Structure formats: C-alpha cells, structure tokens
A and B are shown apart, each in its own frame.
Chain A
Amino acid sequence: MNRFDYVRPSTVAEAVQALGSDPAARFIAGGTNLIDLMKYDVERPGKLIDITRLPLAEIEERDGGLRIGALVTNATLAYDARIRERYPLLADAILAGASAQLRNAASTGGNLLQRTRCYYFYDTATPCNKREPGSGCSAIGGVNRIHAILGTSGHCIATHPSDMCVALAALEAVVQVSGPQGDRAIPFAEFHRLPGDEPSRDTNLAAGEIIVAIDLPAKGFAGHHTYLKLRDRLSYAFALVSVAAALELDGQTIRTARLALGGVAHKPWRNTQAEALLQGKPATRETFKAAADLILREAKPQSTNGFKIELARRAIVRGLEQAAAGTPQSQSDKRIQ
C-alpha cells in the first residue's frame, strides 16, 4: 500500500472541499473495496478522506418511500424492518452478496462505486483500459468466463459486481449527490455507464461529487418479487448471472414488470422494451420466454462465456416465475424452486 495523507471531515461541505479537484484524492467509508485495490496497487491515492463521521447514516421516510443515507451499512439496510417489509427485493439482493463481515462494513454509497472484479483490472502486470486507458483489454480473447455478454465494447467487457445495485435498478432508485456545483439527483438507470470508448469511467458522477443518499420510490413490489443469483459456489461468490424481478399482477395478468440483470454487463442491465412486452400479458412461461428472448437477442458471447446466454435466458424465466408465484428465492436455503 502506498503512503497517503489522511483527513477526517465532519460535514459534507468539508468533505467536498477536501476532495476539491484533486484527482488523487479518494473518499473512504467501508473501505472493503478501496483498501483491497490499494493492496494491489490498482488504487494509489495521495489523500484519503474518511467520510465515516458524516451525518449520512439514517434511513428516513420520504414521499411515501425511503431515503437511505450513503453511510448506512449493507447489513443495517438489509435487516431494516421497513426495507424487509416494503422492499424485500432489496433486502434479498443485499443478503445474496459478499459475507456478513463485509456487509457489516460496506456502505450503501460505496456499494454503487465498487469497481469490477475483472482479473485483469486487478493485475497491474497486464493491459487494462479501465485501469490504464489506451493500454488494451486483456479479457477480450483472454480468460473471460465471468465477463459481460451485453453492452460490451471493443475496449472493455467488464461487469459491475454489485447485487444491491441490480435491485436498486429494478426499483428505479434515485441517487442524490452533492458537489461543488450544488446538489443533484441522478436516476439509477443513468448512474452507471456502459464501457464505450471510455471504460475508465464507471459512473456519471462528476468530478468533486459525493453520494449523500439513495431514494427508494414508494412502489416496492413486496407482493411479487425475487432475487435469483447463480454463481460458482452457493455463497460468497460474485454472480455469473443474477435476476431481480418485480411484478404487479391483476389476477394472472401482468400490470407492471421490472426486470434487471446482474453479472452480464458493465452496469445493472434493464431492457424497458422487454418490460413493456410483459405488460398486459398473462403471467405464463411463454410470456416470460418471449421477454428473455428479447433481452438476449443482442447478447454477444466472448471466447469462454457463451454459456451465460442460455443461463441468463433460463434465470430470467425462472425468476419471473418465482415473482409471479409470490415465492421469492430464499437466500439461505439455496435450492431453486
């Protein structure tokens, strides 16, 4: 780990000022991803700004929904009674990720800003356009079993590793940020970026901005939802494919559908055309297959991750079936019903 300066502000304004326009400064909260990256020399900050003492650790009622402070830990969020009752999809997605120790430390804001777990991004001996723009992508044609099948570019095929964010995408959360130009709100779909020709930029946060809260809209889909995560071992592993499905039903007819995928793209993957296709249709396997086919029509396999396309197709169908039946995937009993 490199040497760095350390400051601990007490207000958001002080934190934003401490960051200023210093490209080598980083905020640190849980530290579960940043410290790891520092140990690999992927991150070499000149200054760490410890934001853990900022007053951003509350969950509050707001406009029929909830405002989650950026410093609320993943564990606090997942076990909050209001989240479990009104947004069980979010609680389930959080509990599907990481370990109890990591969830106790990791913050809500930090979860959004965690970096990809692409092997080459972590290995400073190999080219990586995300870590070192212009150096090339080692994953294309390399070991890419865990990599993206949707929204890739010729410069980067990394995936976003978060489970929480997949649920937040399906729930249409809003990211509240503060910065030198003041405060602004970013819809979740616009927060993370596709790699395009600038894969070093994961998000649309502007220089100098800090996440202060995540807003959940009133609609929580508590009746019909699931978070189905498929991975190489039953717990404590990143998703190969995950599905956050949320439905509102009129009898057996789909009134509203939300569907987001994890493990398949540079950001939580939503396809609003597929959601529109589901709307007004009967909640049957045939309907769900049509939506899955639409989403995966544009999927592009890499050299060793072609299996993900069929895996995603089946996960989407199974996830929608679980949501429609009102039988969400258990995050402790891993049998898939």
Chain B
Amino acid sequence: MTSELYLLGFGPEGWGPVLARAGLMTLAVSLSAFLLGTMLGTLAVCGRVSGNALARRIAEIYVVVLRGVPDLLVIFLFYFGGRQVVAFFGTALGFEGPFDISGFAAGMLAIGLISGAGQSEVLRGAYQAVPKGTLEAGRVVGMTRWQLFRRVIAPQAMVTAIPGMGNQWQSVIKESALVSVTGLVETMRQVSIAAGTTQEHFLFYTAAAIIYLIITTLSDQVFRLLERRSMAGYAGASR
C-alpha cells in the first residue's frame, strides 16, 4: 500500500489538491450549518423560556422531533423532498423541468436544523446558569429586552456554553459527511470518487479519516483556547 501513497500527494497523479479543496468544502458546509443552528437554537431557547405557552410548545416539539429522527433521513427529506416541492411549484407556475436544488443548501438547512435542536439544549443550560440577580439589575436600570440579551445574558451564558457548543460543533463536522448523499463534493464524496477511480478504497477512506481527525482536533484546540480566554475575567480560573 505504501507504494500507492503518491496518490494522496500533490504531484501530477496525486489527489492532494482535490482532497484539500473537499476538506474546505466540509468546513464551509459545517460552518454555515453550525451558525444556522446557533440562530435556531437561540430562537428555541427564547421560545422555551418565554411565558408564551404556544411558543414553548413549538420549541419543545422542534427539539424532540429533530433529536429523535436520523440525520440521514432529515438530509434525504430536505434534498429529495425539496426537489419534489420545487418541482411541484415549478410545474404549477409553468416552468419546464427538470428541477434540481443545491446539495449545499439542502445539507446546510438539514444539519443546521438538527444542530439547532442540540444547541438549544446547551444554550438553555447556559441561560439557566445566568445569575438571576444580574437580570433583575439590568431590568431595574431600564434596559430593553434586546439590551438585556446582548449585554447581560449573552456574555455570561456564552462562557458556560463554550464546552457544550464545542461538542455540538464536533457533531456538525461528522454529520456533514452525510451531505455527500446529495452529491455535494465535500470530503466524503470526493474520497468516494477517488476510491472508485483508483480502486484504492482503504487508502482513500483512511485519508478521509485523517482529514476529519485534523479538522476535529484543530477545532478542539480552538474551543479550548476560547474556554480559557472566556474564563479570564473569573478569579482563580485564569490558568
């Protein structure tokens, strides 16, 4: 197998540049899904802690459903289902087929939705850890809801949420491999193509494993750094 290692290199026959680009695509789809998830997760927490019974119910159902259904199925639903919906409206509006939707968009939406449910659990825990006195103090000095969120809740909750959010980010990276079913050329898809072309399956799937390990390990370091930085203001925790 060692004699085939040149296949992974950056030489004329090497798949190195393509794999590097695919790794960046994995990062791109993960990052956009994660940010979407953060927005949805924050909304879900707002719903769950709000006094509004309907909002709470919707947020709860969202979390239960998305945590109980396989990620793969959600991606299939968004990709093939999305195509079906687009085709339905497209035909109704008199456009000619065939209709297609972007794998990136479907994957990002699906994983963002899944991650939002997970992130809302983390964020809710972090919100509950915010000392109630600071909320009251903020309210007393006349802050609006948005100001309270931005200046009092978010800065404090972010500190508690960092380790949990790190885990959520790791899950998103691993889930992003499933987006390969839409044909989006990220790491997994590119590696499958390479393995099929060269018939070096083991070599290329090992390369995929290494690419994911690099991404997960590096992001672990980043989150650790963030954790240390965010604790800086707390006495005795700066080391």
Say if A and B assemble together.
Answer: no
